Structure 1
Amino acid sequence: MAEAHQAVAFQFTVTPEGIDLQMSHQALTEIYLSGMRSWKKRIIRLKNSVITGVYPASPSSWLFVVIAILATMYTRSDPSMGLIAKIQEHLPVSQSMSTQCQAVVSAVLFSTMLWLLLIFTMRLCLKQLLSYHRWMFEQHGKMSNTTKVWVALVRIFSGRKPLLYSYQGSLPNLPVPAIKDTVKRYLESVRPLMDDTKYERMTKLAEEFESSLGNRLQWYLKLKALWASNYVSDWWEEYIYLRGRSPIMVNSNYYGMDFLYVTPTPIQAARAGNSIHAFFLYRRKLNKEEIKPVSLATSTVIPLCAAQCERMFNTTRTPGEETDTVQHWQDSDYIVVYHRGRYFRLRVYQAGRLLSPREIEFQIQRILDDPSPPCKGEAKLGALTAGDRIPWAKARMKYFSSGVNKRSLDCIEKAAFFVALDDDEQGMMGDDPAASLDRYAKSLLHGKCYDRWFDKSFSVVYYKNGKNGINAEHSWADAPVLSHLWEVRKIKEKWVLGYNAEGHCKGDVDSSLPRPQKLSWEIPPECEEQISQSLAVAQALADDVDFHVFPFQDFGKGKIKKCRVSPDAFIQMALQLAYYRDQKRFCLTYEASMTRLFREGRTETVRSCTNESRAFVQEDDYRFSGENFRLFRTALEKHQLLYRLAMTGAGIDRHLFCLYVVSKYLGVESPFLKEVLSEPWRLSTSQTPVQLSEMFDPVNHPEYVSPGGGFGPVADDGYGVSYCVVGDCMINFHISCKRSCPVTDTHKFGAQIRKALHDLLQLLSPTQKEPSKVEESRPEVKKDL
């Protein structure tokens, strides 16, 4: 095989005339270029480490300080107050220097120490400034004088042209809330869900915990907070994600969709060529830390933690019998592509350069046209990553720890990311666009249960009709981090790289490129049996998932904001109303909020079902009246308060979770914590943020909108709801539940959400049409290009 010969740098044979040495100049060139690329990356990382390490100052500021100190010396003044003279006296090489040289060296050393002290002071000041969160609790549009001064100081101390990780050392640590505050807020959060008897019992358990064991656990937690960068994140990753032994497919992984109404090209290989090239352009900027640090949408001076970006590429989740691990490699110059049961290694760098989109398209088409059959047992190998974790861990150790299987598995796990070429057609299409979106969501979430590699940080799926999507593993990062990559990729693909008139990628092709290398496997019958068992578990889980995806276009955040209401609070209240009408009860509700204002922050829970929301929802009459309006406003304000508390480190659930982990380490039982952690989240919600709204123009280009993404249900008898607010006139919903539950139905719940949204708008804007008279608009189905 040609690719096998390409991998050999030299060969030699012993002949009667001596040793016949045959060297492959192409292979040696590749080795040289690969080494050069590796060293360039090391130099860039070293340079960025220096720049980030001295931020908010710059390396050039050191020269300014040195020149300033030397200039003052020539004016016969001593800004060091005698320290330069002290340094001069104790120079170890003073014997071999002139007096003037000693003075200059001493001044440089003093300047360096002064410079480092100034950097430390600036970083400490910036850290203290970023610890101020009172601005978040002020009324929208009304900024206090204190906050105005704070904003000015943050701008002064923030420096110029920050790299991606420049703010990491200046972000504050996540604070540990007081036990009494957490217990009080917890009891308040469960009051609308319990009758008087249950609430009285829970209150006694909480008071007993607060007065006894809680203080002891809190002491250990504060000790960890002093030592660790974040007292939550490492335990959250380990115990919530990596120690889970059930399948990560559906239960943990999530998905993201392509453009809703258009497909830039119907050619599968061309779509893959442009987007894969765009992914590697993003990775190049990520490695150079040239991506602009993400800040809050309400301000350009409040940075968010970027630590999760580090493991975006070249990362996989490795199964273990007790706990999984996340493995990350510094670099990888290839991807792994799955097509019709076969795995291919596709190098995207040739002679030290990134392949052009047209060349990647050419290589992908080679894979699509390859007639070779899968190896024995290879076709459904990916099912191991979709089933239970313990059988996968045992199989990996037994069948994939040596030989050809280990080499092929290493190739998959060390790849930049995973690509699946699907023979199906997906997207909004046909006579029933709603049903097609539902199928699209299920395909991205679980596929056929063996045609994705669910352990990879993310897998990109390309369908036969040109649509694509993404499936992501959850332990290494949260959705907003990958969402940024997904949005940048779509922008690059459509508006920067583009396609020619025939729908192919632009540019020329080097037809001498080595063919993608098909991976080899030797799967014994015992392993095939385990693959079948894992597939059966995964297939049962996938078949049980019901999805409903719909774009709501009757109104959006534009009309909601005109009523001076937070769009997120408005949607959460609609979900509470819809759930109550659907289930005739209230439930514990999870809304994800980020804590990336703090170093290594991830998420916190907003408990959206409150006493205030219950009081409003139970009115069951949403015509405009003074009392209804007052109850609604009160519920919205309470939700906003809870969201702000969660973002600023005063949430409930992560604190209680960490207290529970400490109790397990100490070997003590807490009836209160045990009951708290066992409560099911029957309504789990999350908003998919549109972070590059200035790049997507839904007014002039309404067809280029994305419906966002979604996830599977958290509880067996509950709903998972993901929503994405796009522009001023669209809200996309992704609803999931389990078909095996007789009391849940995604389509019925979707209809209740639509009705609830109209009812709440009617309450805010009584001049609008009655909900019953509002014609439910269906999205206009535009023909795919």
Structure 2
Amino acid sequence: MNINYKTNGQDEFTHNIIPNETKLPKLPVPNLQHTLCRYLEALEPILSESQFNHTKSIVEQFGAENGSGEKLQQLILKRQEIYDNWAYNWWLDDMYLNNQAALPINSNPGMVWPPRNFSSLLDMAKFAARIVSSALICKNRIDKNELTIDTVKSDGKIQPLCMAQYGRIFTSYRAPGIPKDTLLKSETEYTKARPHIVVACKEYFYVVFLTKGKNAETLTENEIASQLFYILNENINQPKNKLPIGILTGLKRDSWAIIREQLLKDETNQRSMSFIEKSLFIICFDLEELELSFNSNCRVDSGGHRIAERDETNMAHQMLHGGGSFANSGNRWFDKTTQVHGANGLCYEHSPAEGIAIINIMETILNSCQNVENIIVETHLSIIPQKLTWVLNSDLEKQIYSSKEQFDKNIKDLDFYVFRFNEYGKNFIKSCNCSPDAYIQLALQLTYYKIYTKLCATYESASTRRFLLGRVDCIRAATLEALRWVAAMQTDFFQKHDVYSTSTFLNNSEVSIEKKLELFDKAIQKQTLIATENISGYGIDVHLLGLKQTAKDCLMCVDIFEDEAYSIANQFLLSTSQVTTGMNSFMGYGPVVPHGYGASYNLKDDYIIFCISSFYSSEITNTKKFTEFLRESLNSTRDLLVHRK
């Protein structure tokens, strides 16, 4: 059983490795028996007894001496010797590029920045110009490897983290394809010397070049602001584009891939598409919002959200999808890694980088945007922004109209809510000698259990950036220890509903506070242990994916991956992530499965920001109900720990 791996040891998208990163260790290959043991532990709380016993025998057979598991493990170890990161390509395909779901809502996160009021087009142009000029400075520092290396402290030692993700923020583009998408390196030697951005306004797209003259002299901030103001002023009183090309990027990926091929048959479209793909990033000026903010009549977008109000939930919807076809969804290009919105936030395509890299860069840029009043906007321009044009036949026009209808349906289905929990924050949790992240994960488990009287497969991202080209693995928070604790916390509930006797962990008597605390401590310890294993490169999900992919490459049929339990384990009905920001901002995303929840959280000293999402079309999920029970879970957990304090 042999596989011919690449001989150069490079992954497909490693152009941003910087010299000092070669000193980082390679991602380890976990011990097979350890992974299989943890896999069974993850399954036990979410399977029936008969399902678990069936799966246990399959797993034991897979891991037997000289079994198929050991043979696959040896092939992965050989791959590790050759590749910079043995799992990177497989993980990227599985997590993103093979996924044919539409990017907005299903994949791209949205970030809302701190409030900023724009009283005029000049204000918006100046603010955007500062973002562009600061982004150029960040891009230059990235190119010269001058960014301060991110680090973490572990066992008293400072460990550097892989910085490759930063290099992809301004140099990547996700192109739709069949059977899978492609993550392109969008930067060429020419665009590196003569960079440009693309500006979306009233669903038209403009190219703004950031250099001038034969020597490619970088534009001043005043010159950038003047070009942006030109675009704004040209469109403020104009109707929107009736045929917004950008709406097509919100389709399912295979559908968009077919339409894109049709578009690229025309040379004019090829040129316009190339400008968008090779841009540093996109600025989306949503004049619909600015115009409505000047009067008292607020319209409602496709999801039923008031367009001109700065409600945090409304803002999050704008960042995620643009509000629908008659709001701002056509004023987007969801394939591009970074889209900065004039409404003060962003949407980003997730495959090149994790949220922390995007947040760090964007907050660096925002910190430079405090004083923009001194920027001067000229009305006479030596350089005029280029408006991109498209050649559309009747079939492509029909596709655009059809895309509007489909996108609006998707938006109406999203049940998304920004929940600020103001009772306490990480200061209280730390005072209880708990990991704040583990604490929140247990609160989420308790919430799910309150609603469904069971646990589910739960995804929490764990960074593996301690290793070369590291991205994330999965912390599985639905542990047996968590199940025992949440069952204990719900004693009264079960007694009232006559189902408590089904619990195999406790008897029918009232569970003492001491016992609940004991179970809580064990659950916290297990959650912390699993998290530590993940960030140390010994998580189970990436390893299992590697074993599965190796078996596929060898044309082997392996029962462990055909087993129903593997599908259940990877149906993440709870998709969670701690998204930490330095500012009063937050990031959220949609569910990853039809009957699941998305739950991001941002822990501040004295409050916590949650972004909870589900789909209205699901008869099982309910964002409002989940939020109400989450508040209850956070308060009951606090009340429990106060007894010990």
C-alpha displacement at 1:562, in angstroms?
Answer: 1.2
Of 610, 615, 624, 1:747 maps to 624
Instruction: Find the counterpart in structure 2 of residue 277 from structure 1.
Output: 133
Which structure 2 segments of 5+ residues have no match? 1-15, 299-304, 492-510
1:166–1:302 distance in 2 versus 1, CA, 3 Å: farther
Code of the residue aligned with 1:459 in structure 2: it is: Q
Name the CA distance, whole Å, in 1 between partners of 2:584 and 2:243.
32
Instruction: Find the counterpart in structure 2 of residue 258 from structure 1.
Output: 113
Name the CA distance, whole Å, in 1 between partners of 2:580 and 2:453.
30
Q: How many residues align?
A: 580
Name the CA distance, whole Å, in 2 between partners of 1:372 and 1:723.
37
Instruction: Find the counterpart in structure 1 of residue 443 from structure 2.
Output: 574
Instruction: Find the counterpart in structure 1 of residue 462 from structure 2.
Output: 593
Say which structure, 1 or 2, has more relative contact order (CA 8 Å, 6+ apart).
2
Instruction: Find the counterpart in structure 1 of residue 97 from structure 2.
Output: 242
Alignment of 1:88-103 (within 5 A): none
SS at match of 2:197: strand
Of 654, 661, 682, 2:573 maps to 682
Instruction: Find the counterpart in structure 1 of residue 38 from structure 2.
Output: 185
Name the CA distance, whole Å, in 2 between partners of 1:585 and 1:687.
23
Instruction: Find the counterpart in structure 2 of residue 400 from structure 1.
Output: 264
Deviations 1:513-572 (A, max 9, x none): 312111121111111122233333333222211101022222111111111111101111
Larger Rg: 1
Instruction: Find the counterpart in structure 2 of residue 549 from structure 1.
Output: 418
C-alpha displacement at 1:677, in angstroms?
Answer: 4.3
Instruction: Find the counterpart in structure 1 of residue 223 from structure 2.
Output: 359
1:493–1:751 distance in 2 versus 1, CA, 3 Å: same
C-alpha displacement at 1:730, in angstroms?
Answer: 2.2
Alignment check: 8 A CA contact 2:573 2:596 kept: yes
Alignment check: 8 A CA contact 2:226 2:377 kept: no
Alignment check: 8 A CA contact 1:164 1:289 kept: no
After TM superposition, where is structure 1 displaced by more than 6 Å over at least 4 residues in a row? 372-378, 426-435
- TM-score after normalising by structure 1: 0.70
1:590–1:627 distance in 2 versus 1, CA, 3 Å: same
1:478–1:674 distance in 2 versus 1, CA, 3 Å: farther
Code of the residue aligned with 1:326 in structure 2: it is: L
Instruction: Find the counterpart in structure 2 of residue 336 from structure 1.
Output: 198
Name the CA distance, whole Å, in 1 between partners of 2:171 and 2:287.
26
SS at match of 1:619: helix
Alignment check: 8 A CA contact 2:202 2:240 kept: no
Instruction: Find the counterpart in structure 2 of residue 659 from structure 1.
Output: 547
Instruction: Find the counterpart in structure 2 of residue 55 from structure 1.
Output: none
Which structure 1 segments of 5+ residues have no match? 1-162, 694-704, 769-785
Confirm or deny that 1:409 pairs with 2:273: yes
Confirm or deny that 1:233 pairs with 2:233: no
Instruction: Find the counterpart in structure 2 of residue 560 from structure 1.
Output: 429
C-alpha displacement at 1:368, in angstroms?
Answer: 1.4
C-alpha displacement at 1:749, in angstroms?
Answer: 1.1
Instruction: Find the counterpart in structure 2 of residue 764 from structure 1.
Output: 641
Alignment check: 8 A CA contact 1:253 1:711 kept: yes
C-alpha displacement at 1:166, in angstroms?
Answer: 4.4
Name the CA distance, whole Å, in 2 between partners of 1:231 and 1:165.
18
Name the CA distance, whole Å, in 2 between partners of 1:731 and 1:755.
14
Greater shift in the superposed pair: 594-603 or 615-624? 615-624
Deviations 1:371-429 (A, max 9, x none): 59999987321122110222322222232144111111111111111111112449999
1:373–1:438 distance in 2 versus 1, CA, 3 Å: closer
Of 593, 598, 601, 1:723 maps to 601
Instruction: Find the counterpart in structure 1 of residue 59 from structure 2.
Output: 206
Of 456, 463, 478, 2:354 maps to 478
Confirm or deny that 1:451 pairs with 2:331: yes
Name the CA distance, whole Å, in 1 between partners of 2:220 and 2:631.
45
Alignment check: 8 A CA contact 2:204 2:244 kept: no
Name the CA distance, whole Å, in 1 between partners of 2:408 and 2:543.
36
C-alpha displacement at 1:265, in angstroms?
Answer: 7.1
Alignment check: 8 A CA contact 1:165 1:307 kept: yes
C-alpha displacement at 1:625, in angstroms?
Answer: 2.1
Name the CA distance, whole Å, in 2 between partners of 1:490 and 1:376.
29
Name the CA distance, whole Å, in 1 between partners of 2:109 and 2:98.
18
Name the CA distance, whole Å, in 2 between partners of 1:572 and 1:473.
26
- TM-score after normalising by structure 2: 0.84
Confirm or deny that 1:383 pairs with 2:247: yes
Deviations 1:330-377 (A, max 9, x none): 425211111112111112223444333343232222111215999998
Name the CA distance, whole Å, in 1 between partners of 2:644 and 2:517.
14
Name the CA distance, whole Å, in 2 between partners of 1:192 and 1:415.
47
Of 220, 240, 253, 2:75 maps to 220
C-alpha displacement at 1:605, in angstroms?
Answer: 0.3
Deviations 1:481-537 (A, max 9, x none): 11111111111112xxx133xxxx535648333121111211111111222333333
Name the CA distance, whole Å, in 1 between partners of 2:558 and 2:397.
44
SS at match of 2:620: coil
Identity of aligned residues (%): 29
Greater shift in the superposed pair: 735-744 or 267-276? 267-276
C-alpha displacement at 1:652, in angstroms?
Answer: 0.9
Code of the residue aligned with 2:351 in structure 1: it is: S
Deviations 1:34-68 (A, max 9, x none): xxxxxxxxxxxxxxxxxxxxxxxxxxxxxxxxxxx
Code of the residue aligned with 1:489 in structure 2: it is: I
Deviations 1:663-700 (A, max 9, x none): 2112222231133542211011001123xx5xxxxxxx
Alignment check: 8 A CA contact 2:153 2:159 kept: no
Of 501, 524, 529, 2:398 maps to 529
Deviations 1:274-328 (A, max 9, x none): 2222212211211121110111166773100112222211321112222221222
